[in-house]
């Protein structure tokens, strides 16, 4: 059993859980994840390890409660326990000293971005963080990211905080030289966002097919559907550079310019009906939604 030490709400449906998991806290490296089960027989939920304190023996998990499984996990108060926390799983982030690195987080993907950005800064890179959200109340972890970023840029779709628009508004300013030009880009968020970032950092062609701007190495962290998390079931497969890869053991980070984002989007939508049915049947999820609406 893994005791929940604290459970804070960061934004609408987004929680930060600090969980006692001493072995994971000691072994984990940036970019890795765990698979969590609330109780025996419960859905297995893959969650990025946001941070860890090996001395205290704790890990931090950021969770967006959208389905029945995640809603049950965030309903665990401090003092109660989670049945399983299996990990650390996946390959750690490939760290090198790139120079200027743009770290781009879309919505709750910002939570997955946090450990990568922190590790890149510790490696000696200048981290320029971009957080995109629909509106100010959905912006998460801006203060925490500011602790090690050269600068944090915020873009909201309704203009309630920072620039008005999508994260790509800020990336465009970086690519055009109005802001420091990145030597590498890390992007985590909704699939259309990661696809849009990848398109912008590919080799751009000028007149007569001449390269106008060099391609910028771009890494994305993929949130494929996972079951076992050990490369056995094939549930998390993605096509990267024309080859089938398993997100859980070959990733979750991949070269954005090689990822088949359309295939990923299709696979993520495969169980939408079953997910909706599970949510409808979950009494706890209904209670939590009522509390959320009342707030
Ligand atoms: P959202 O839909 O509110 O989008 C957040 C921000 O992403 C937007 O405000 C915008 O700045 C950017 N964005 C979205 N679409 C874009 C596009 N087409 N072009 C450029 N920028 C775009 O996100 P949310 O509801 O907070 O997050 C939910 C999504 O994030 C889900 O799809 C979830 O699966 C995904 N997610 C991904 C990861 C991962 O590891 N890649 C982790 C957590 C969540
Ligand atoms: Fe089963 Fe990756 S989750 S192969």
pLDDT for 224: 87
Centre of ligand 2 to C-alpha 206, Å, is 41
Paired strand residues for 126:
100
How far, in Å, CA of 38 to CA of 209, rounded?
55
Q: Is the previous residue joined to 211 through a cis bond, with omega within 30 degrees of 0?
A: no
Tokens representing 16 are 């930060």
pLDDT given at position 212: 58
Q: Indicate which residue's Cα is closest to atom 35 of ligand 1.
A: 190
Q: For a substitution probing ligand 2, which of 44, 46, 229 has the most ligand atoms within 8 Å of its CB?
A: 229
pLDDT at 268 (0 to 100) = 78
Instruction: Give 281's contacts (C-beta < 8 A, 6+ positions apart).
Output: 68
Atom of ligand 2 nearest to the CA of 246: 2
Per-position b or e across 49-82, b if 16+ CB within 10 A of its CB: bbbbeeeebbbbbbbbbebbbbbbbbbbeeeeeb
In tens digits, what is the pLDDT along the chain, a chain of 295 residues? 899 999 999 888 889 999 999 999 999 999 999 999 998 888 889 999 999 999 999 999 999 887 888 888 999 999 999 999 999 999 999 999 999 999 999 998 999 999 999 999 999 999 999 999 999 999 999 999 999 999 999 999 999 999 999 999 999 999 988 899 999 999 999 999 999 999 999 876 555 655 556 589 999 999 888 888 889 888 899 999 999 999 999 999 999 999 999 999 988 776 666 656 665 666 665 666 666 666 6
User: From the CA of 251, which ligand is nearest?
Assistant: 2
> Which atom of ligand 2 lies closest to the CA of 235?
1
Report pLDDT for 274: 65
Cβ of 67 closer than 6 Å to ligand 1, yes or no, is no
Report the residue among 107, 152, 200 best suited for mutation to probe ligand 1: largest number of ligand atoms under 8 A from its CB: 107
């Amino acid at each position: 059993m893994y005791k929940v030490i604290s459970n804070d709400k960061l934004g609408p449906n987004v929680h930060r859980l600090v969980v006692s998991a001493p072995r994971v806290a000691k072994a984990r490296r940036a970019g890795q994840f765990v698979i969590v089960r609330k109780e025996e027989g419960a859905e297995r939920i893959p969650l990025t390890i946001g941070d860890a304190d090996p001395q205290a023996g704790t890990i931090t998990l950021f969770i967006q409660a959208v389905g029945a499984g995640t809603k049950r996990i965030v309903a665990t108060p401090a003092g109660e326990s989670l049945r399983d926390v299996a990990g650390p799983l996946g390959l750690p982030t490939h760290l090198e000293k790139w120079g200027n690195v743009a770290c781009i987080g879309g919505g709750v993907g910002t939570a997955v971005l946090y450990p990568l950005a922190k590790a890149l800064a510790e490696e000696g890179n200048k981290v320029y963080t971009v957080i995109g959200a629909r509106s100010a109340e959905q912006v998460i972890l801006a203060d925490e990211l500011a602790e090690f970023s050269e600068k944090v840029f915020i873009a909201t779709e309704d203009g309630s905080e920072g620039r008005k628009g999508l994260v790509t508004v800020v990336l465009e300013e970086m690519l055009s030289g109005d802001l420091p030009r990145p030597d590498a880009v890390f992007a985590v968020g909704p699939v259309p966002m990661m696809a849009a970032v990848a398109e912008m950092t590919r080799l751009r062609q000028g007149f007569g097919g001449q390269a106008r701007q060099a391609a910028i190495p771009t890494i994305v962290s993929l949130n494929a559907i996972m079951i076992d998390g050990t490369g056995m079931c094939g549930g998390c497969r993605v096509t990267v550079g024309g080859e089938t890869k398993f997100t859980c053991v070959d990733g979750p980070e991949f070269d954005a310019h090689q990822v088949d984002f359309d295939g990923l989007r299709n696979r993520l939508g495969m169980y939408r009906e079953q997910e909706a049915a599970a949510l409808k049947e979950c009494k706890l999820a209904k209670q939590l939604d009522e509390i959320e609406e009342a707030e």
